[in-house]
Amino acid sequence: MLVPGPGWWRGGPQLGTLGLWAALRAAAAPAAARRAHPARPYSPLERSPSNEPARKTPLKEWTLIVNPFGRLQARLPCDIAVRPLDPYHYPDSDRVLVTVSGVEGGSLDLDGIQVKYDEAEKQMAIVSDSIGYEASVEVKVPMKFDLNIRTSGTGCVKVQEAECDDCRIETEQGISIVQSVKSKKLHIQTKGGKVICLGTILGNTDIHASEKSTVTIDKLQGSSVNISTEDGLLKAKYLYTESSSLSSAAGDITLGSIHGDLTVHSKMGNITIDSLNGYLKASTYEGAVDVYVSQMGNVDLKSQKGSITIRVPSSLKAHLQLSGSKVDVNPEITLQEMKEVPKDNGITINGHMNQTSECEKWIKASAPSGTVHLRSQSWFQSLKLKGF
């Protein structure tokens, strides 16, 4: 998958807005082909004879004077990219710059896009139903502008380096990219497109992805995080939160370094966590659970039909209660006061690691139809095993 780097906005090697989206759509084409409503084919406007993305040029531009603390509302059937004004060129941060680009000689309905500013409402509106998916819109706004962006069809959204109170993005089949965004409230919803979070995202975050949409996150920090998918992968490298809730109906959930309290559920998919520092409640019906517990909060793991693997450093202090059709404890781990209790065609093992029975921290794992594995693993080994 092609993901734009930082140079995309700053004069480095560029595909241009259309080239970026075309490349991302091409990478997602196999998944799109499986949807009940197939994605539209590329038009001759988007591909040159050499099968390269067609070059686009600015066709119409607007410059409007605005309140620096207003908001942008966009309703478009095409791609839109939003980034802040250059503070050196616009120190008062009181302009909105809008550029509509397309292929020269195309059939875009440039009169079909409304660009206006309501001074009383402090709202900048960019609205069109008819401009066509071949267009792309670039908007430069004051840094503190709130954002409310909705695209239809395969229209994609990219927001970069915004700092606002409220950022809302909604797509149908289009890709949503947020990069280095700081927002008190970040809400992203898609019915079939990818969600990609690049750099560090700061703020309370809600992401809801339907159908086979995937969600990938570099780093997310906030008090509250809620993310859900249906059939798509949910993958995050770093989460620093007070409370997180992650769920998927049938997709896998793959997490890197997690700090804070976390609740995670996947009905049909697997759950993998490379490093945990905090409370965890993880459950799946048919999938497997694999967790490395580096520093303790309480941990509660359940898999109704799958197996559970718990990896811990040898110095961890905790009470353990492990229940499954089988329980496999690595010989490198010594459990004090260990008790084995046969139970319902399986076994339950109780014991303590590195402390007395009055311990406050505990790990519970239940896999009625599978095996519970307890493994010893150092922090250094966990770094080498990460698949990110």
Binned at pLDDT 50, 70 and 90, residue 377 comes out as confident
When the pLDDT of each residue in the chain is averaged and rounded to a whole number, the result is 85
Report residue 285 CA to chain centroid gap.
23
Q: Residue 246: pLDDT above 70?
A: yes
Residue linked to tokens 């397309």: 102
Residue 101 to residue 13: CA distance in whole angstroms: 19
The token duo for 214 is 């995937």
80-109 pLDDT per residue, tens: 999 999 999 999 999 999 999 988 766 788
Residue 186 in contact with residue 241, Cβ under 8 Å? Answer: no
Domain ranges of the chain: 55-155
The token duo for 226 is 């809620």
Residue 23 to residue 78: CA distance in whole angstroms: 15
Residue 145 in contact with residue 164, Cβ under 8 Å? Answer: yes
Binned at pLDDT 50, 70 and 90, residue 14 comes out as very low
